[in-house]
Amino acid sequence: MPATPRTYLLPHVVAKLANMELRARLVVEGFIAGLHRSPYHGFSVEFAEHRPYMPGDEIRHVDWKIYGRTDRFYIKQYEEETNLKAYLVLDTSRSMTFASPGQITKLDYAASLAASLAYMMIHQQDAVGLTLFDETITSFLPPHATRAYLQQILVALQTLRGGTGTAAGRSLHLVAERIRRRGLVIILSDLFDDPDQVLAAFKHFRHKKNEVIVMHVLDPLERSFAFGEDATFKDLETEDRVVTQPWHIRRAYADAMKAFVDRYKRECSEHQIDYVLLDTSTPFDVALVEYLSKRQRLH
């Protein structure tokens, strides 16, 4: 069956594309193609790079090429005219490199989603930055709103590799301290760390008057624990191994995972933090519509 724009909302399809810019563009185009369909009707995405000339604007900012084609005056948009500063905060710890059979890694999923968000934001004249962390901050690109800067973000996402152990709580506190101008913070992580510390970091962002969206990225098997009869489990960060029959512990695991997710969901809600549960089989439009809904509520 031939590919349609919405085909590129499927993670396993997008993962076959080596170029991160192409991934981002096709995901966003697929998303826009579906905006008029339920449940997305009512949203709009404007990809304007200019705005009409207004009395008082400096003549030096007029785009004369546009004038030559349209006989109308348009002003080039600059970063100070953007209406949103967004911080994409991506967990690259080793646990994010996990993938069950037939799925992409959590890191690949989160990187593709972050690229798509950055692409959409830049085309909406918003400023976006990217922070990578594992046990500490490994890269911090503050928000800007230029096409050239988008390329820098996409290159960082295309070349990233899984890092070391997890210290999400501590690292997120460090990110909160680095943010000088409040904006929208979007965290992409499996949140596999002490929930007390992670939630305290979320509250740190809110204390500094940032809006926050938590995109909780898991693998389908991490949610279902639907392993076969015998399995060996290896901790990706400590290399510890446990051999067991999964059916013995499936119920206890399911209860523990539900409690883990429910706590994040509950406490995020209590502190006006948007929480989105995803797994690596979830189409990308689920996360994009959450972002777009949040953006429209901020106006």
| Domains recognised in the chain with CATH numbers | 50-77 (no CATH), 81-297 (3.40.50.410)
pLDDT tens digits for range 243-272: 555 556 677 778 888 999 999 999 999 999
pLDDT tens digits for range 48-105: 566 677 766 777 777 787 778 888 777 766 544 557 899 999 999 999 999 998 999 9
Question: 193 Cβ partners below 8 Å, 6+ apart?
Answer: 166, 167, 168, 169
Which helix (H) or strand (E) is 31 found in, with range? helix 20-33
Say what the pLDDT of residue 128 is: 97
What's the whole-model pTM score?
0.83
pLDDT, averaged across the chain: 86
Say what the pLDDT of residue 71 is: 80
Say what the pLDDT of residue 79 is: 45
Cα separation, 246 vs 195, in Å, equals 25
Say what the pLDDT of residue 80 is: 47
Using alpha carbons, list the distances in angstroms from residue 10 to 69, 171, 279: 38, 30, 12
For helices 147-159 and 106-123, give the axis angle rounded to 10 degrees.
Answer: 180
Closest CA to 218 of 185, 189, 198: 189
Which parts of the chain register pLDDT below 50? 79-80
Cα separation, 74 vs 53, in Å, equals 5
